[in-house]
């Protein structure tokens, strides 16, 4: 490992440019929003079960056919409720997003989706067996009758096929085989699946038809999911794009296979964004503009412009190098909890691997600090992979920060965040070698997901409380 300790130096505003108004920054969100969101999920599930009980769901266990059918009803209703919770989790509701962060929301989205999908299949099989047990049509005749003769069932079947496609392509092996752009397009079919399931529930749901409480509950839940999605995933991005008139100002290479894009616009100081956060970006009039890509800010927002830096890891990021100045830009966000608002300690360790240095470079610029308060550890395979070298040194001189580079391929002797040259050290000892008072720091981590796991484990073992470790994983 090589280390560079930087001494303070003057850092001023570029000559000839008046200082911009101070950006509004990231609004603080009370953490009780996390509790409220979790409570809402459980209460709506309990209400669904209560509706089932009130409509005689338990009494139907008197017969085999009734027992199978009633279990099919309750599993179907809970599956539908969880499906709508899934939609709400990814509706980009600002208070919820700032409380959890996209990383945690995506994890919960996958967990809720898995339960919803399994319960959906349980609903289908149980209803099928229950109806077959009470008729003489047999298993095949029963499923044909259900699909062809019950209102909304053909639409529900199409919706189920769409949801199955989304779930299959969400498994890790499937995601690894797909380009991000292809996966993103396929994942949009989840909305189609949700929409196609609604008529079946309205027209044939025994716990819905003729029940005022159930009607009010389900319409409210459906309405909330639709309204939140349209407001924050569609309406707000359009409004921000229209208001701020974002355009590409400059495009330049940052290193081999790495491009920086500077975007300017009107009243950018009014966007509630902080260093370390990311937007979903669409560059209008360019190939792939229909699909958004997540890129972190690589410079602290100054009210005049926004800068992103991305490695050419896919078609979308590689296309950044071909953007033309003047291209219009649409943004969705800002998102992420990798910002100064979650900071708990005066001292901060920023630790990044590869292109994960982009949000760390912005945080180094923006975080309030005194000499020695901030330490940046930057890992890369080779010297040629390093980016922002001059900028990091200039910022470190200006802020009194310390910058360390950790070079080389990761060791294969054990799961570790260290390179082969430092494999003789334990993961915790290596962190303490760089930051002796590690336990007194907040730790911000960004990089390869497996590498981040090792860093988190080392930080926890080094005495850093879990609440003081802040991560962002850009995986889909």
How far is Cα 380 from Cα 383, in angstroms, rounded to an integer?
7
Query: Does 135 score more than 50 pLDDT?
Result: yes
Average pLDDT score over residue span 168-192: 65
Q: Sheet holding 247-255: strands in order across?
A: 247-255, 258-264, 305-311
pLDDT in tens, 30-54: 677 778 888 999 999 999 999 888 8
Q: Which CATH architecture has domain 340-471?
A: 3-Layer(aba) Sandwich (3.40)
Question: Could you tell me the pTM of the whole model?
Answer: 0.80
Query: Which span out of 57-66, 451-460, 466-475 was modeled with the highest average pLDDT?
Result: 451-460
Query: Does 137 score more than 80 pLDDT?
Result: no
The more confident residue out of 199 and 448 is: 448
Taking the domains of the chain in order of start, what are their residue ranges? 32-228, 245-335, 340-471
Query: Does 5 score more than 50 pLDDT?
Result: no
Q: What is the pLDDT confidence band of residue 3, given thresholds at 50, 70 and 90? A: very low
The more confident residue out of 365 and 34 is: 365
3-state DSSP assignment of residue 185? helix
What are the C-alpha distances in Å from 151 to residues 204, 205, 219, 228? 7, 10, 19, 28
Q: Sheet holding 469-471: strands in order across?
A: 2-5, 402-407, 374-380, 347-353, 441-446, 469-471
Quick one: what percent of the chain has pLDDT higher than 90? 45
Q: What is the pLDDT confidence band of residue 13, given thresholds at 50, 70 and 90? A: very low
Phi then psi for residue 280, to 5 deg, are -90, 125
How far is Cα 282 from Cα 289, in angstroms, rounded to an integer?
5
Angle 147-152-156 from CA coordinates, rounded to 5°:
70
Handedness of CA 267, 270, 274, 277 (dihedral sign): negative
The more confident residue out of 13 and 30 is: 30
Q: What is the pLDDT confidence band of residue 264, given thresholds at 50, 70 and 90? A: very high
Angle 240-340-281 from CA coordinates, rounded to 5°:
30
Tell me the two tokens of residue 302. Answer: 């100054």
Quick one: what percent of the chain has pLDDT higher than 70? 85
The CATH class, in words, for 245-335 is: mainly beta
* CATH ID of 32-228, from 3.30.110, 1.20.120, 1.10.3470, 1.20.140: 1.20.120
Please tell me the predicted confidence (pLDDT) of residue 183: 63
How far is Cα 362 from Cα 364, in angstroms, rounded to an integer?
5
The more confident residue out of 17 and 366 is: 366
Query: Does 127 score more than 70 pLDDT?
Result: yes
Cis ω before 303 (30° cut-off from 0): no
What are the C-alpha distances in Å from 205 to residues 70, 80, 156, 173, 459? 11, 11, 12, 36, 51
The more confident residue out of 71 and 131 is: 71
Tell me the two tokens of residue 84. Answer: 């709508």
Residues with Cβ < 8 Å from 425, sequence gap 6 or more? 418, 433
Q: β-strands 469-471, 441-446: how paired?
A: parallel
* Counts for the chain of helices (H) and strands (E), in that order: 15, 12
Phi then psi for residue 42, to 5 deg, are -70, -40
Query: Does 16 score more than 50 pLDDT?
Result: no
Query: Does 230 score more than 60 pLDDT?
Result: yes
């Amino acid at each position: 490992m090589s280390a560079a300790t930087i001494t303070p130096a003057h850092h001023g505003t570029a000559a000839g440019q008046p200082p911009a108004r101070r950006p509004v920054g990231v609004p603080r969100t009370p953490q009780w929003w996390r509790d409220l969101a979790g409570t809402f999920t459980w209460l709506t599930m309990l209400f669904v079960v209560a509706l089932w009980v009130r409509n005689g769901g338990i009494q139907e266990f008197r017969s085999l056919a009734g027992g199978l059918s009633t279990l099919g009803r309750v599993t179907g209703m809970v599956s539908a409720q969880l499906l709508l919770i899934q939609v709400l989790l990814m509706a980009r509701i600002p208070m919820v997003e700032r409380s959890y962060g996209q990383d945690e929301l995506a994890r919960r989205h996958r967990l809720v989706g898995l339960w919803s999908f399994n319960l959906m299949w349980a609903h289908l099989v149980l209803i099928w067996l229950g109806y077959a047990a009470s008729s003489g049509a047999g298993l095949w005749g029963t499923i044909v009758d259900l699909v062809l003769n019950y209102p909304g069932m053909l639409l529900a079947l199409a919706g189920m096929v769409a949801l199955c496609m989304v779930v299959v392509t969400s498994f890790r092996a499937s995601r690894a085989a797909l380009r991000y752009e292809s996966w993103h397009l396929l994942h949009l079919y989840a909305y189609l699946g949700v929409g196609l399931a609604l008529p079946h529930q309205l027209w044939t749901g025994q716990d819905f038809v003729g029940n005022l409480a159930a009607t009010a509950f389900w319409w409210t839940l459906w309405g909330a999911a639709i309204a939140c999605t349209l407001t924050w995933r569609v309406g707000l991005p359009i409004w921000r794009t229209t208001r701020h008139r974002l355009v590409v100002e400059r495009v330049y290479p940052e290193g081999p296979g790495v491009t920086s894009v500077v975007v300017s616009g009107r009243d950018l100081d009014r966007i509630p964004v902080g260093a370390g956060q990311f937007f979903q970006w669409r560059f209008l009039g360019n190939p792939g503009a229909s699909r958004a890509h997540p890129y972190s800010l690589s410079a602290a927002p100054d009210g005049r412009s926004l800068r992103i830096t991305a490695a050419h890891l896919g078609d979308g990021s590689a296309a950044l190098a071909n953007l033309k100045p003047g291209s219009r830009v649409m943004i969705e966000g800002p998102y992420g909890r990798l910002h100064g608002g979650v900071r708990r300690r005066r001292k901060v360790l920023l630790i990044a691997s590869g292109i994960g240095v982009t949000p760390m470079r912005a945080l180094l610029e923006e975080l309030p600090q005194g000499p020695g308060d901030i330490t940046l550890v930057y890992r890369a395979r080779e010297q040629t992979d390093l980016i922002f070298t001059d900028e990091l040194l200039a910022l470190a001189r200006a802020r009194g920060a310390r910058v360390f580079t950790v070079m080389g391929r990761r060791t294969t002797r054990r799961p570790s965040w260290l390179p082969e040259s430092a494999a003789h050290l334990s993961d915790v000892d290596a962190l303490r070698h760089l930051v002796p008072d590690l336990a007194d720091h907040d730790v911000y981590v960004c990089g390869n997901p497996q590498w981040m796991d090792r860093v988190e484990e080392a930080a926890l073992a080094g005495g850093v409380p879990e609440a003081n470790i802040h991560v962002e994983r850009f995986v889909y």
